Structure formats: structure tokens, C-alpha cells
Amino acid sequence: MLEFDWVDAFTDRAFGGNGCAVVHHGAHLPVETCTAYVRETSLVECTFTGPSDIADVKVRYFLASREIPFAGHPTLATVAAMRHRGMIGDGALTLETGAGIVPVTVEGSRVTMTQIAPQFGATVPKDVLARVGSISAEDIIAPPQIVSTGLPFCITLVRSRAVLHSLRIDPTAFQLYAEAYADGATDLMEPYWATLDAPEGADSFARLLLLPPSPPEDPFTGSATGAMASYLWAHGLID
């Protein structure tokens, strides 16, 4: 019988942050079983670990609909769960993922990962993303671009938090976008909507909206945040 841990990442309180179920020694399970498990939990993502010939641990990442090469908060959740169980100690750790080897450092309850170097892909017309998010093209203030630090997203910068809160995903427009720009061998490249009109103490504010069978929104996404930071730096929008 396989065991799992439910871990809330990016928080200091139970049922906060972003949850992930970590299934220990489950990397051998078929895709159909893993996606069904994610749907049962109603989480955005779950991980399944196993032995690796090229790293310390193999980690597979699943949404309710498909396997993805990498994800941010599940990486931290997976390592935290292993540390909690005494399966690993403090120090350096390497993870085999679908995106490559991800280095991680563990210091007590603190887990730090180094995401894969960013890859900058195609730019997407503003009007295409505007239709996806049911907003005006004038609300998008920089060229949307597909960026990946292990998992690709279309980074879309909007003018304000008000615009961000008004977003409504149009499934038909999203399907047309995905057919035109997504790499089916990699992922759907969901738009990651961000603004520099941030709350006090923050530099940015962002949302990741999803379509069924996933939950409607991912409360915090480490992989998309890495891609967004890379985009903002490359475009001279942050130091």
C-alpha cells in the first residue's frame, strides 16, 4: 500500500497556501491512475516519487487532466514531505523531473529550489490573449510571451489589479489559442496574468486561471512565478 502526505506550500498555517498530495514511491503508477487521484483530491497538482538513476529522487507531476514536466509548489511540497518523514536530511538534493534535473537545498523546514534556466518562446498577439481573458487588448501593456523555467506559460502583463480581478476565461478562445500556440508534447502554455500594480510590500500580483477538470484557479504557482520573474527581468521591468 502506498502512503501519501498532504502538504500546504507557501504558508505557515494549515489549509492555507497551495496544497499538494505527495504519493511516496508512486512514480511507477499509470497515467490514468495518477490523474484520477488528482481529481479525487480536487487539488491542482499532485506528485508521485520513485527511484532515479540520474538524480537522488524521481518526481512525476500530474494535473487532473494530464502529466506535466515540472511544477513549482509541488516540488517544495514533495521535498518537505520527504524531510518530515525522515527520508532525507539537510543539504543538497537533486530531483529528476520531466524538465530536467532540479537542484534543491534543505535546511530544517526551509526548502529552496533552483529552477531551470528560462527559455523564451513565441510572442502572442494581445488581442488573442484579450479574448481568452475576456478583457480589452488595451488592458495588456506589454507583449505576451511564452516563457518556461520547466513548465511553459504565456506571461501576460495587464495594467491593474482591477483588470486582473475582472478576468473570465473564455473556453472557446482558449481552445483556439492552445491550438495555435501550444506544444502538445509539452503543455498547454496557460496564460499567467500579472500586474505591477501590486499590494504594499509586493512587486507584482498575478493569477493563474484554469479550465475543467482542474480547479478554476491555482492560488500560487512557483513555476509560473519563475517564468514571470524571468520575463519581467528580460523586458527591463524589474532590476
Q: Which domain holds residue 126?
A: 119-234
- Cα 187 to Cα 235: distance, rounded to the nearest angstrom: 24
* Total count of domains within the chain: 2
Q: Which of 184, 233, 172 is nearest to 194 (CA)?
A: 233
CATH of the domain at 228: 3.10.310.10
What one-character-per-residue DSSP string does 131-188 give? HHHTS-GGGB-S--EEEESSSEEEEEEBS-HHHHHH----HHHHHHHHHHH-BTTTB-
- Cα 237 to Cα 82: distance, rounded to the nearest angstrom: 37
State how far Cα 119 lies from the chain centre. Answer: 15
- Cα 201 to Cα 231: distance, rounded to the nearest angstrom: 21
Q: Which of 207, 209, 210, 214 is nearest to 42 (CA)?
A: 214
Report field, pTM of the whole predicted structure over 0.85: yes
Residue 40, H or E segment: helix 31-41
Check residue 109 and give its pLDDT. Answer: 87
Q: What is the pLDDT of residues 137-189, one digit of tens each?
A: 999 999 999 999 999 999 999 999 999 999 999 999 999 999 998 876 556 68
Q: Which residues of the chain have pLDDT under 50?
A: none
| Of the residues 78, 113, 148, the one at which a domain ends | 113
Check residue 152 and give its pLDDT. Answer: 94
Q: Is residue 239 part of a domain?
A: no
Residue 77, H or E segment: helix 72-84
Q: Is residue 182 part of a domain?
A: yes
Check residue 187 and give its pLDDT. Answer: 63
